[in-house]
Amino acid sequence: MLIPFTSIGLVAIFSSLVQAHFIAPDKLQRRAELQKCSNSDSKFQNSLDGWILERGSTADNYEFAPDGGLVMKITAPEKHQRLFDNSSIENLPYNKYEGKGFTFNATSYMQYGKFSAKLKSANVPGAVTAVILIADNGDEIDFEILTGGDQTITSNYFWGQKIVYGVNGRTIDPPALPACDQFYTYGIDWSPDRIIWTIDGKEIRTETRKQANGAYPTGAARVQIGLWDGSGVSGTAQWARGPINWDERKNEDIRAYVKDVTIECSPKTNKVTKK
């Protein structure tokens, strides 16, 4: 789960959080009918037009591939120190210093719709490649791709008014070829009634609002793509198959690749424009 960026200042974020907390879901949906949302198809041909970097991400951590698309990078920390969590039964390892990752966000929000991202994940245990819809009120729908041993692809969602961990996540059957060796298209189709996760157009999970018992993401959300180091907390490092062994890598960058991101806003609940 990634932390939302602050794009319009603390006052605006505080205002959106207050509204999301106190406005009833039906009123949220009526308000969202005025949500300005841009349909787009980003190929990343030497441009990040329509996207903004997450706070803390810099130009050092991405580049454009010669054949098109975007290369996301985790760069090594200046210092390496492996620690062990004595409070855990397994004495879990983690890194005191994390590598610097890269995350970028669509500048347009959507109130329901669908998007897809064609990407090739990182191939290093401890690195997490993430494809996300995230709202300022904490609502989130995502894919997270892990490597190391058997690859793991997880689908998850969170309801921002009461975030719980370890409940809504599902491990899905991975594609035939490793996600770090081949490009796959990861899609999320989000409506007021259900969420559908797809890989290469094939439905791999559906979750309905009824199944969520009201704890269902409804906040206007933006698309977010990222590559981050999961090594800094023992439990997260274990989940991410890490921590990253930077000494073994000799400080070599960790990379994931994005070729195409398509965003399609629902015309029923958005004021749709095209970039």
pLDDT above 50 (res 24): no
Q: Which of 140, 207, 248, 252 is catalytic?
A: 140
**207 is known as an active-site residue:** no
Q: Which of the four pLDDT bands, split at 50, 70 and 90, describes residue 34?
A: low
85-124 pLDDT tens trace? 999 899 999 999 999 999 999 999 999 999 999 999 999 9
Q: Which of 33, 144, 203, 248 is catalytic?
A: 144
Q: Which of the four pLDDT bands, split at 50, 70 and 90, describes residue 44?
A: very high
178-196 pLDDT tens trace? 899 999 999 999 999 999 9
191-234 pLDDT tens trace? 999 999 999 999 999 999 999 988 999 999 999 999 999 999 99
Structure-model confidence comparison of residues 68 and 93, the more confident one: 93
Amino acid symbol at 174: P
pLDDT above 90 (res 20): no
User: Of 21, 14, 31, 47, whose CA–CA distance to 163 is shortest?
Assistant: 21
Domains of the chain, CATH where assigned: 9-274 (2.60.120.200)
Q: Which residues of 91-112 are buried (b: 16+ CB within 10 A; e: fewer)?
A: ebbbbebbbbbbbbbbbbbbbb
228-273 pLDDT tens trace? 999 999 999 999 999 999 999 988 999 999 999 999 999 999 999 8
**140 is known as an active-site residue:** yes
Structure-model confidence comparison of residues 5 and 247, the more confident one: 247
pLDDT of residue 26: 44
The CA distance from 131 to 262, in Å, is 12
Residues in the chain: 275
**pTM assigned to the model:** 0.84
pLDDT above 90 (res 2): no
